[in-house]
Chain A
Amino acid sequence: MRAQLLLGDEAIAQAGIDAGMSGIYAYPGTPSTEITEYVISSGEAHDKGIVATWCANEKTAAEAALGMSYAGKRVMTCMKHVGLNVAADPFINSALTGANGGILFVVADDPSMHSSQNEQDSRFFGKFAMIPVLEPSNQQEAYDMVFTGFELSEKYQVPVMIRITTRLAHSRAGVVRQPSLPPNNLKLPENLKQFILLPALARKKYQALLEMQDAFCRESEESRYCSFSQADDHSLGVIACGLAYNYLMENFPDRNPPFPVLKICQYPAPAGLISHIYNTCDRLLVLEEGYPLLEELLKGMLDKGKPVHGRLDGSIPRAGELNPNIVGKALGLQEDPLTPVPPLVVPRPPSLCKGCPHIDSFLGLNEILEQHGKGRVFSDIGCYTLGALQPYDAINSCVDMGASVTMAKGAADAGLKPVIAVIGDSTFTHSGITGLLDAVNDQSNITVIILDNATTAMTGGQPSAAMNHLEDICKGVGVEESHIRVIKPLHKLHEENTRILREEIDYEGVSVVIARRECIQTLNKRMREKFKNKASKTA
């Protein structure tokens, strides 16, 4: 079959479609978004009746996926690394319930924090849950590993993680597809108590999981994604995980490093292969795109074995993603002198778009806060986090999805006054509602500004679960109706908007101001499509 150009994300999505997947559940998050987006817009997936949908958050997505696995079908749930924190409860526990139909947790990490608030390495989560983890080194492996992942998941009845990083997620290369598989039939678990984690049952399930660990290790040992290549120079042995393998090879144009290389793309790490390279080489270099997971294990707390180089001894920077140059330097290879960046080049940080409704909201808020002083605005994850930058300098926190509302509550409970939470519509339905309920129950003195741009903007305009629900949700949670106000953030309405906002900030209790105006990007996109449709109709 001819190679098809696909992003790493798209390769995983296409593989799901080809491997008999019946559903994919996700919440958008860079760099994982394009997986689900691809399936949603795939005609092939549509024809096959694959359920592809955005969920309220990663936890609801993972649980829906587990339900589909319960029903015997193959299913995928996709998220960014910090999304797995949100889905950690179903993720860890699903290792105990196990799978019926094959279930894949596809997690996209973001080393160097291109679009994230940390660079946590999800392989640790996989180890924590004690399930097999697949880490592709290229787009073709990303594709093939979906098939392998489903097979492993069904063979051992456990969930399997596929861990990718930004550079693979968002890099395109030729991928050759496999013949399409039919979906599984609907089939209940053989044991109808399989998914009941009552302590007495959970202990048994946990024991069974522990007993499978050797088999998982053997799978990695025999995996076609882990390979050992022999070479003459045994003064060094290199262990390269996932994408790091490519950066290693890039440094050797003939693709033949002079020393032994162990490529690891499946976990738990293949102990036999590792002990072989350890025993036959004088020292080791460990290349990992992420935290030093294997390096730490090899080195041990006492570091009394052979020298192990990597992120912990400074051979490689402790933080940030790898690249061919970092790896070349760690190998001691000579680097040509480089042309420096001319000093007149200045940083160009991202910024709110021209015409963005958040700009009007922040300008109004800043004006009101002049009388109270700075440091009272808790914010959240989304485009509006850019309100932290000049010229707005309008927010004081960005921690995790939904934390604006709950942190505002805590600060108000501590006595800070006034306290404002600024959260987007999609982030609010992701994780803000429960926090608002806490605030209502305690009558905390906070004002929640919901920036309702009718989309999940930062990740490219996916539909928002909050659409047409916000007032009802706030009312249902118990916010007094007279203190749920709606404004339209427009320059010409500035006076009226700041008056309403000021009234609610002055109100002692929980108030919500919904600043509602469509995202300028989705609006433009909609207008372009409308124009196009009109043009094609008249043509």
Chain B
Amino acid sequence: MKKDIILAGVGGQGILSIAAIIGYAAIESGLFLKQAEVHGMSQRGGDVQSHLRLSAEPIASDLIPYGKADLIISVEPMESLRYLPYLGAKGWLVTSTKPFVNIPNYPDTDLLLATIKGLPRSVALDAEDMAAAAGTVKAANMVILGAALPFLGFPVEKMKNAIQAVFGKKGEETVKINIAALLAGLNFSNQTLNQHI
């Protein structure tokens, strides 16, 4: 087992929560893990990414080499494309379609989504809408995590436990909403994959 994952988004969008949950599940599964994060200036509304590496063997580099990522998980469509050079030949891209516009020259959304759809292996979904349906737009990151689940190789129960462990102190309601969001994303992804086949 070896998974190299790029997590992408804009400072404040909650990619580190995604990393924490996958990380928890990985440690529970006895895997090695390295996870490089961005702290500091970029967290003020700039582009942020995290390199998350899981492996049954010890991991050397904290950074994923170009062309070696198995998966890009992004909570923002333009940010998902920024890291394409990292994506391996068989890699998947999972992204939210909801743009986060805080710059004046943000690209045309239709063009952006067409570029994502044009990739050989991608899953794109409006995570905020689905999160709102699950209880709060703040759970959009969990929708995206759910959509990425088929490519991560963890059983859904393991992820639910991880959500319980990471969000437990925020209360049962928060855990419930985040699990509902996870399942909504997973469901969407499974449907998309069935269409692929």
Q: Contacting chain A: which of B36-44, B126-134, B146-154, B175-183?
A: B36-44
Q: Which residues of B are found within 8 Å of A172, using beta-carbon distances?
A: 23, 33-37
Q: How many residues of A contact B (CB 8 A)?
A: 51
A35 to chain B, nearest CB (A): 12
B37 and A328 form a contact (CB under 8 A) = no
8 A Cβ contacts from A141-187 to B: 167-168, 170-174
Are the C-beta atoms of B37 and A249 separated by less than 8 Å?
no
Q: CB-defined interface of B5-29 with A at 8 Å, one 1/0 digit per residue?
A: 0000011000000000001000100
Cβ of A290 under 8 Å from chain B: no
B23 touches A5 (CB 8 A): yes
A344 to B89 CA separation, bound complex (whole angstroms):
22
Is A366 on the interface with B (CB-CB < 8 A)?
Answer: no
B59 at the interface (CB under 8 A from A): yes
**Are B87 and A246 in contact (CB-based, < 8 A)?**
no
Q: How far is the CB of A203 from chain B (nearest CB, A)?
A: 43
Which applies to chain A's interface (DSSP): helix, strand, loop or mixed? loop
Q: Are A250 and B27 in contact (CB-based, < 8 A)?
A: no
Q: Judge whether A353 and B44 touch: CB under 8 Å.
A: yes
A34 at interface by CB-CB < 8 Å: yes
Residue in A closest to B52 when the chains form the complex, CB atoms: A172
Min CB distance A9 to B, Å, is 9
* B10 CB contact (under 8 Å) in A34, A342, A348, A535: A348
Q: Tell me the bound Cα distance from A168 to B60 in angstroms.
A: 12
Residues of A within 8 A of B51 (CB): 171
A302 on interface, CB distance cutoff 8 Å: no
Set B11, B63, B82: member contacting A341, Cβ < 8 A: B82
**In the complex, which residues of chain A have a beta carbon less than 8 angstroms from the beta carbon of B67?**
335-336, 338-339
Interchain nearest-CB distance for A467 vs B (Å): 22
With A and B bound together, what is the CA distance between A114 and B103 in angstroms? 20
What 0/1 readout, one digit per residue, does chain A (308-330) give for beta carbons within 8 Å of chain B?
00000000000000011100100
Could you show 30 A-B contacts with beta carbons less than 8 Å apart?
Answer: A3-B27, A5-B23, A7-B37, A30-B41, A33-B39, A114-B41, A115-B39, A115-B40, A115-B41, A174-B27, A250-B60, A250-B61, A251-B65, A323-B63, A324-B63, A325-B65, A341-B81, A341-B82, A344-B108, A345-B82, A346-B78, A347-B47, A348-B102, A350-B41, A350-B45, A350-B46, A351-B103, A386-B44, A458-B40, A459-B40
The 7 closest A-B pairs by CB, nearest first: A115-B40, A30-B40, A350-B46, A250-B61, A249-B60, A350-B44, A171-B62
Residue ranges of A at the interface with B (Cβ–Cβ < 8 Å): 3, 5, 7, 30-31, 33-34, 114-115, 167-168, 170-174, 243, 246-247, 249-251, 255, 323-325, 328, 335-336, 338-342, 344-353, 383, 386, 390, 458-460, 535
